[in-house]
């Protein structure tokens, strides 16, 4: 049986012609080792951001259908150029859009979910010894409308294809050496993690570690698809993400339980500078009020992150919650409407907040982790505005101007080996 590999290359790995040629060589290397190769690519460099900024210069509130139409063109440029680069190396390659592959999604433009993938066409090309290059981040509805899968969605295309094609290996190539204990662009002494559990990767991604799209990790976890995050600029081994030590060992990693556990109290520290906070003052303290507010927000499609309601001593209380910065205008409008209906007071918003979080399965069994995090922030005189915890993470909302400093100080408190 031939082995099949799914490779995914992010935008920075394809930012100029030399980088595209570099990717072509890496792809061809797998073909030379007799693998069937499916490669997923993102748009070149910052193309997606550039297209969005072009759109909002034309219309500050563009239609989501037209946005998908526009953004999907970015990946179409990459697939064709990579195919040409591979041809130049003397190998067969064919580029396909999401629609040509048969990646069928639901109808939620800009954040569509994959419903099914038809492997027929890919398998036919693989049989003919062709390298298949698939445009990431896009699909098509049953009515033939082009959709996109949410920012960072090429990761999802790759993992969903790995599942559908029963790939033997899935590699996500990016501009850093793997998943680090913190964003290496902000924390210079962050360390590369040789391996990490799905749930930790999921938590880190949800809490701001941009390196993997959240929904792609959900798919990997749900279908147990171990994958390898590594650099497209070096041959170094990166980070293996899997569900258990035995899965890692199947990948011939020979990880010992002790190694996985050692120092694993906290696996990583993350930052999300994309948050905003809304506070409704003087909310009447009676049953049904919170339900009314959050039902209204969900109806207008607002995802709320953290919620804090103070204890009431006066039959009135304040409710604060955080959400994605981009949703603030829509959420403010909705919150003001509900505040009026329920007889609450002023609605305040703060765009200058950030969320800093620690993540690790080890904290389940270790007391004192929260105190240590709060101490690190107190030491730098950084005020904590809100706190939330999950079984394997603790997050604090702080002022955004302290965000990078907070990340570094918490990282050094937990993860600097020498300390």
C-alpha 223: how far from its chain's center? 18
| Chain position carrying tokens 């403010």 | 332
Distance CA 365, CA 392 (A): 10
Compose the 5-44 pattern: x for residues touching ligand ASP by CB under 6 A, - for all others.
-----xx------------------------------xx-
Binding-residue total with Mg ion (CB under 5 A): 2
Residues 318 and 134: their CA atoms lie apart, in Å, by 49
Q: Exposure string (b/e) for 320-339, b if CB count within 10 Å is 16 or more?
A: bbbbebebbeebbebbeebb
At its nearest, how many Å lie between ligand ASP and the CB of residue 393?
24
Could you give the 3-state DSSP secondary structure of residue 272? strand
Nearer to ligand ADP, 68 or 155 (CB): 155
User: What is the smallest separation between the CB atom of 203 and Mg ion, expressed in angstroms?
Assistant: 17
**What residues contact residue 337 under an 8 Å CB cut-off, 6+ apart?**
296
Q: What is the rounded distance in angstroms from the CA atom of residue 323 to the CA atom of residue 173?
A: 30
Specify the 3-state DSSP secondary structure of 225. Answer: coil
DSSP-assigned beta bridge partners for residue 93:
131
Interaction of residue 152 with Mg ion, rule CB under 5 A = yes
Residue 64 CB, nearest approach to ligand ADP (Å)? 22
User: Could you give the CA distance from residue 211 to residue 199 in angstroms, rounded to a whole number?
Assistant: 15
Query: Considering beta carbons, is residue 209 or 376 the nearer one to ligand ASP?
Result: 209
**Considering beta carbons, is residue 87 or 273 the nearer one to ligand ADP?**
273
Task: Locate all alpha helices (DSSP H) within 43-171, ordered by sequence.
Answer: 47-58, 64-88, 98-101, 120-127, 154-164
Q: How many Cα atoms are found within 13 Å in the side-chain-facing hemisphere of 114?
A: 28
Minimum distance from residue 8 beta carbon to ligand ASP (Å): 8
Owner of token pair 């969005």: 52
Output 130 or 213, the one with its CB closest to ligand ASP.
Answer: 213
Q: Which of 139, 153, 178, 208 forms a contact with ligand ASP (CB under 6 A)?
A: 153
Between 43 and 386, CB nearer to ligand ASP: 43
User: For Mg ion, which stretch binds (CB under 5 A), given 6-14, 75-83, 252-260, 290-298?
Assistant: 6-14
Task: Please say whether the beta carbons of 153 and 30 come within 8 A.
Answer: no
Helices H, strands E: what count in the chain? Answer: 14, 20
Pairing of strands 268-272, 304-309: unpaired
Q: Please report, as residue ranges, which positions from 54 to 113 form the binding site for ligand ASP (by CB under 6 A).
A: 74
The binder of 182, among ligand ADP, ligand ASP, Mg ion, none, by C-beta within 5 to 8 A per type, is ligand ADP
Token digits for 352? Answer: 């200058």
Between residues 273 and 372, which has the closer beta carbon with respect to ligand ASP?
A: 273
- Helices 328-342 and 289-299, axial angle in degrees (round to 10): 150
Among all residues, whose Cβ is closest to ligand ADP? 10
Nearer to ligand ADP, 74 or 320 (CB): 74
Stretch of 80-88, 108-116, 146-154, 172-180 lying at the interface with ligand ASP (CB under 6 A): 146-154
Contact residues for ligand ADP (CB under 6 A)?
A: 10-13, 42, 152, 174-176, 179-180, 182-185, 209-211, 268
Least Å distance between CB 71 and ligand ADP?
A: 15
Residue 71 or residue 94: which is nearer to ligand ASP going by CB?
71
Q: Is 137 in the site for ligand ASP (CB under 6 A)?
A: yes
Chain residues that interact with ligand ASP, rule: CB under 6 A:
10-11, 42-43, 48, 74, 136-137, 151-155
Chain residues that interact with Mg ion, rule: CB under 5 A:
10, 152
């Amino acid at each position: 049986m031939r082995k099949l590999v799914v490779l995914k290359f992010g935008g920075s790995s394809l930012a100029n012609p030399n980088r595209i040629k570099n990717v072509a060589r890496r792809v061809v290397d797998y073909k030379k080792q007799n693998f069937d190769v499916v490669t997923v690519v993102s748009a070149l460099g910052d193309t997606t951001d550039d297209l969005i900024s072009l759109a909002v210069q034309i219309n500050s509130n563009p239609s989501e259908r037209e946005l998908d139409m526009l953004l999907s063109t970015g990946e179409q440029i990459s697939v064709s150029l990579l195919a040409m680069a591979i041809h130049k190396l003397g190998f067969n390659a064919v580029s396909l859009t999401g629609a040509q592959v048969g990646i069928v999604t639901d109808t939620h433009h800009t954040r569509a979910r994959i419903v099914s993938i038809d492997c027929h066409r890919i398998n036919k090309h693989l049989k003919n010894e062709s390298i298949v290059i698939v445009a990431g981040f896009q699909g098509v509805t049953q009515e033939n409308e082009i959709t996109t899968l949410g920012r960072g969605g090429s990761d999802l295309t790759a993992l969903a294809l790995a599942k559908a094609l029963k790939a033997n290996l899935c590699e996500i190539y990016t501009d850093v050496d793997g998943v680090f204990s913190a964003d290496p662009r902000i924390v210079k002494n962050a360390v590369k993690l040789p391996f990490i559990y799905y749930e930790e990767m999921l938590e880190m991604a949800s809490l701001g570690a941009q390196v993997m799209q959240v929904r792609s990790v959900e798919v990997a976890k749900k279908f147990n698809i171990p994958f390898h995050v590594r650099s497209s600029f070096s041959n170094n081994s990166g980070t293996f993400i899997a569900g258990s030590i035995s899965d890692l060992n199947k990948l011939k990693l020979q990880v010992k339980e002790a190694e996985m556990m050692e120092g694993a109290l906290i696996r990583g520290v993350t930052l999300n500078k994309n948050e905003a906070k809304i506070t409704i003052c003087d909310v009447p303290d009676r049953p049904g009020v919170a339900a009314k507010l959050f039902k209204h927000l969900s109806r207008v499609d607002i995802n709320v992150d953290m919620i804090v309601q103070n204890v009431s001593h006066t039959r009135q209380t304040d409710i604060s919650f955080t959400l994605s910065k981009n949703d603030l205008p829509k959420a403010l409008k909705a919150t003001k409407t509900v505040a009026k209906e329920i007889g609450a007071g002023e609605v305040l918003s703060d765009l200058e907040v950030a969320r800093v979080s620690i993540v690790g399965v080890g904290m389940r069994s270790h007391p004192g982790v929260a105190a240590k995090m709060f101490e690190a922030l107190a030491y730098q005189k950084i005020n904590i505005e809100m706190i939330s915890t999950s079984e394997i993470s603790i997050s604090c909302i702080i002022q955004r101007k302290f965000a990078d400093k907070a990340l570094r100080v918490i990282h050094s408190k937990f993860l600097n080996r020498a300390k």
